């Protein structure tokens, strides 16, 4: 397997046309066909179904697309690093969802101005296994809620302590309140899968669900899905209220009497990354500011 084969595969995947792929790659159509055939021989599967009128990806071809993209991206990154006298500075960051990811852009913009060779990347992993990626040196740092009960070799830098908030559409009856208590929460509730939220949040949402009839319970596979249902006016949900990570178009009302959540960033104790310390400082300034 080589990059020429993979570039041919991705070009045909994009155009679903061998002629257009050959023009893009500036090689002959038989050469493209040869490279695809050689790749299929090596993988032992058919990647395309080709007729006189159409080209379509097989199921195996669809599954191979992300692998081909990753290999090409890795090869390109290696060529860039080895082709320059100056070495790029990778910064691998992790978060659980798109709301947490909103905290990165202003920090990375400032960091990029200070370190022109910086090459950041962000991985969204909606599961608790995100922290194991930091422990195994696959990520330099990851955002998350402090897990006091979890033994970890990682350091945790607190960014903020925030309340759990009732998140609802502006037209929802609960939106008229400035502060709520748990016994004032009413109506249909949108819960998130327990595999994707912190234990503190799961415990609270579970205590609400058990008191509701089935017709008022909604279960979403992710917090993004839960907030989408909230925006579609199916009900309300509970989520830590980090102002910079709020979902636009929704109301966040703090719920008094519920445990507060400590949000921050995890990183390795012995990490000599040249930019990480500055990243942590700017991130804290951005969130706390």
CA distance 278 to 94: 17
Query: What CATH number was assigned to the domain covering residues 3-82?
Result: 1.10.10.10
Query: What CATH number was assigned to the domain covering residues 164-259?
Result: 3.40.190.290
DSSP state letter for 175:
G
**What pLDDT shows up at residue 209?**
92
Distances from the Cα of 274 to the Cα of 104, 111, 277, angstroms: 18, 12, 7
**What pLDDT shows up at residue 208?**
93
**What pLDDT shows up at residue 269?**
82
The closest alpha carbon to 239, from 228, 256, 231, 227, belongs to: 227
Residue 189 has a CB neighbour count (10 Å cut-off) of: 23
β-bridge pairing 55-57 and 48-50: antiparallel
Distances from the Cα of 232 to the Cα of 177, 226, 247, 252, angstroms: 20, 10, 13, 16
Phi/psi at 133 (nearest 5 deg)?
-65, -35
Judge if 89-154+268-288 and 164-259 fold alike in CATH terms.
yes
The closest alpha carbon to 91, from 110, 68, 63, 65, belongs to: 110
| pLDDT block averages, 10 residues each, the chain of length 289 | 90 92 91 93 93 90 88 77 68 94 96 92 85 88 82 87 96 96 95 86 91 94 94 96 94 95 91 88 91
**What pLDDT shows up at residue 198?**
84
124-152 as b/e: b if 16+ CB within 10 A: ebbebebbebbeeeebbbbbbbbbeeeee
Domains in the chain: boundaries: 3-82, 89-154+268-288, 164-259
pTM of the model: 0.69
Instruction: Domain 89-154+268-288: state its class.
Output: alpha beta
Strands (E), the chain: 48-50, 55-57, 89-95, 118-124, 141-145, 154-162, 164-168, 180-181, 189-192, 217-220, 237-240, 251-256, 261-268
Q: Helix, strand or coil for residue 71?
A: helix
């Amino acid at each position: 397997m080589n990059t020429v084969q993979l570039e041919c595969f991705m070009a045909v995947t994009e155009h679903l046309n061998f002629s257009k792929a050959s023009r893009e790659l500036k090689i002959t159509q038989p050469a493209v066909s040869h490279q695809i055939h050689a790749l299929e021989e090596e993988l032992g599967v058919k990647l395309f179904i080709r007729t006189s009128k159409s080209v379509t990806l097989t199921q195996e071809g669809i599954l191979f697309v992300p692998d081909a993209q990753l290999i090409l991206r890795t090869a390109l990154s290696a060529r860039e690093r080895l082709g320059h006298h100056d070495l790029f500075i990778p910064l691998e960051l992790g978060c659980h969802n798109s709301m947490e990811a909103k905290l990165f852009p202003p920090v990375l913009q400032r960091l990029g101005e200070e370190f022109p060779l910086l090459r950041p990347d962000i991985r969204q992993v909606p599961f608790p296994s995100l922290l194991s990626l930091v422990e195994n040196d696959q990520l330099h740092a990851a955002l998350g809620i402090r897990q006091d009960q979890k033994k970890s070799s990682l350091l945790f830098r607190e960014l903020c302590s925030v309340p759990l908030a009732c998140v609802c559409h502006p037209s929802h009856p609960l939106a008229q309140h400035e502060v709520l208590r748990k016994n004032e929460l009413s109506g249909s509730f949108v819960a998130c899968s327990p595999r994707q939220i912190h234990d503190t949040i799961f415990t609270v949402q579970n205590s609400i669900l058990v008191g509701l009839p089935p017709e008022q319970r909604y279960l979403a596979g992710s917090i993004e899905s839960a907030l989408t249902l909230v925006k579609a006016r199916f009900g309300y949900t509970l989520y830590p209220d980090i102002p910079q990570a709020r979902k636009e178009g929704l109301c966040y009302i703090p719920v008094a009497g519920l445990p507060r959540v400590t949000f921050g960033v995890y990183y390795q104790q012995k990490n000599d990354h040249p930019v990480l310390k500055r990243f942590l400082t700017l991130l804290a300034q951005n969130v706390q500011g």
